[in-house]
Amino acid sequence: MTAQVQIDQYQELMKRYNEIHHLGSIAQLLQWDQEVMMPREGGAQRAEQLAALQKVIHAHNTAPPIGEILATIDFNADWTDEQKADLREAKKTYDLATKVPADLVAEIARLEVLTTQSWVAARQSEEYDDFWPLFKSTLQRRREYADAIRGERCRYDALLDLYEPGETSANLRPLFAELRTQLRGILEKIQGSSHPTNPAALVTEYPEEKQRPFSEKVIQQMGYNLKAGRLDVSAHPFCTGTGGDVRITTRYNKNNFTEALFGCMHETGHALYEQGLNRERLPFPAGGAASLGIHESQSRMWENMIGRSEPFWEYFYPMLKEQFPTPFNNIAPDEFWRLINHVEKSFIRTEADEVTYNLHIIMRFEVEEQLLEDKLSIDDLPEYWNHQFQQDFGVTPTSLKQGCIQDIHWPAGIFGYFPTYALGNLYAAQFYNTMTQQLPVNELLSKGELLPIREWLREQIHQYGHTYAPGDLCKRVTGKPLSIQPMLSYLNEKYGKVYNFS
């Protein structure tokens, strides 16, 4: 086969994936509308719309011409790194799609809408009779999906690989075991501190109409392009979209301004990644993000390592005081910094501090493994969850909303995703450590100059999309494989200062 024929085949393959990309973007837009704008009674219709659309996408993914090209093209020809990655991802996508029946794909899409809509209603009413059967069906369909694609792997690894390519539960268990032990040690030092924090000083009324302008100021200074995005409200904050249409949501708490602000910074971290991808390559199989762990590293870095740092607030605290004279005129900047870094065992993952957050993730990893492998039934989930939570946190949830169904992921059928949050924290610490060696980060933050940080992330991470596997990208950026040590060093140094321990 001549070189020109190879190029023609590659171009035909990319043309097909261009169409698939745009169909996927339409699905994302429908899902955004579902969470933000859709009328309450639109759920059943939206479920059918997404089911139909996912069947169309599945048909495109399994089109015989794609299989024919992949069967004949020479993967070892003189391709660029980007082209090699495109062929790799195209083959993986095709191999997975051809193993799954179209009707199962449609049913999963349908259930995602119905179950998440029921989840929202159940959380509000705390009545779960309608939700629980849908939840069971959602889990069963995900088990069937995992069985279809797993091959020699366990179900959990088959789904985990969808979000964190190449990762396995066997790799995660010892990593998470050591991380859990080390985090408990840090937590013990904090609990034994004679220099405690009391965030009650921050509790007052923060009108939403005053919170939003401050959050918008921060995220625009981070470099989020609102001409190519939106900020809205949803039950569970998220980011969606690519290129010229990247949308984020947050939620406002009238008694706690940090929930919306740090939620905005978190989702903007995701949005900056999407806006920083090479737009010309977005429709290509390897044009998107490297993994959900790498994606999460961007959001957690901006939210915590930057947003909860002292230098960041040297610049933004006077603006915050101007927006909210009460209570901040009476709180010194150094005390404010300590208060926003308060550490406490809590029930809600999204409100957890940096020290306890990964403990939430590790527990979820263990629970969803049990669910997927048929070692735990959904009917036993609430009791099992409470038992595990008591072991890890020393407290017991008093409601399902406070316990096992607080997150949208499982109702949406997203199993195998949670480890990417912990991996994201680890990647974030390692990237941040490298960045501080190459940029005067603290000086930039103290002046409110955030764009050089965004540009460093674009140059080192964003622009490559999924050209490189997550672990390979980590080595390219930091020179080392992923490790828990940068995260532990960061936490010990920061919280040693907050709580005055060595």
pLDDT in tens, 180-200: 999 999 999 999 999 999 999
Q: Are residues 249 and 316 in the same domain?
A: yes
Instruction: Determine which of 158-162, 199-203, 442-446, 459-463 has the lowest per-residue pLDDT on average.
Output: 199-203
CA angle at residue 291 from 287 to 297, to 5 degrees?
Answer: 115
Q: What is the pLDDT of residue 2?
A: 87
Q: Which of 259, 267, 310, 354 is catalytic?
A: 267
Claim: this prediction has a pTM higher than 0.85? yes
Please check whether residue 327 lies inside any domain of the structure: yes
47-95 pLDDT tens trace: 999 999 999 999 999 999 999 999 999 999 999 999 999 999 999 999 9
Q: Which of 89, 107, 125 is the last residue of a domain?
A: 125
Q: Are residues 117 and 202 in the same domain?
A: no
Exposure of 459 in the CB half-sphere (CA atoms within 13 A): 8
Q: Are residues 92 and 13 in the same domain?
A: yes
Q: Are residues 443 and 327 in the same domain?
A: yes
CA distances from 30 to 26, 42, 390, 438, 471 (A): 6, 11, 39, 41, 33
Q: What proportion of the chain, given as a percentage, has pLDDT over 90?
A: 98
Please check whether residue 363 lies inside any domain of the structure: no
Tokens of 91: 């083959």
Q: Which of 94, 125, 156 is the last residue of a domain?
A: 125
Q: Are residues 223 and 331 in the same domain?
A: yes
Please check whether residue 334 lies inside any domain of the structure: yes
Quote the number of domains for the chain.
2
Please check whether residue 401 lies inside any domain of the structure: no
Q: What is the pLDDT of residue 293?
A: 98
Q: Are residues 110 and 184 in the same domain?
A: no
Q: Are residues 119 and 191 in the same domain?
A: no
Q: What is the pLDDT of residue 21?
A: 97
Q: Are residues 75 and 191 in the same domain?
A: no
3-state SS of 22-65 is HHHHHHHHHHHHHHHCCCHHHHHHHHHHHHHHHHHHHHHHCCHH
Please check whether residue 168 lies inside any domain of the structure: no
Q: What is the pLDDT of residue 411?
A: 97
CATH code (residue 456): 1.10.1370.30
Decide if pLDDT at 1 tops 80: no
Determine the structural domain holding residue 479 and report its residue range: 177-345+424-499
Q: Are residues 100 and 32 in the same domain?
A: yes
Q: What is the pLDDT of residue 111?
A: 98
Please check whether residue 408 lies inside any domain of the structure: no
Q: Which of 125, 154, 185 is the last residue of a domain?
A: 125
Top-confidence residue, 338 or 502: 338
Please check whether residue 155 lies inside any domain of the structure: no
| Residues 331/339, Cβ–Cβ less than 8 Å | yes
Annotated active-site residue 267? The verdict is yes
The identity of residue 276, as a single letter, is G
Q: What proportion of the chain, given as a percentage, has pLDDT over 70?
A: 100
Q: What is the pLDDT of residue 502?
A: 78
Q: Are residues 107 and 233 in the same domain?
A: no
Which residues have CB under 8 Å from 489's CB, separation 6+? 429, 433
Cβ burial of 398 (10 Å; 0-12, 13-18, 19+) is exposed
Q: Are residues 186 and 120 in the same domain?
A: no
126-175 pLDDT tens trace: 999 999 999 999 999 999 999 999 999 999 999 999 999 999 999 999 99
Q: What is the mean pLDDT of residues 463-468?
A: 97
Q: What is the mean pLDDT of the chain?
A: 97
Please check whether residue 391 lies inside any domain of the structure: no
Q: Are residues 313 and 434 in the same domain?
A: yes
Q: What is the pLDDT of residue 236?
A: 84
409-431 pLDDT tens trace: 999 999 999 999 999 999 999 99
Q: What is the pLDDT of residue 235?
A: 85
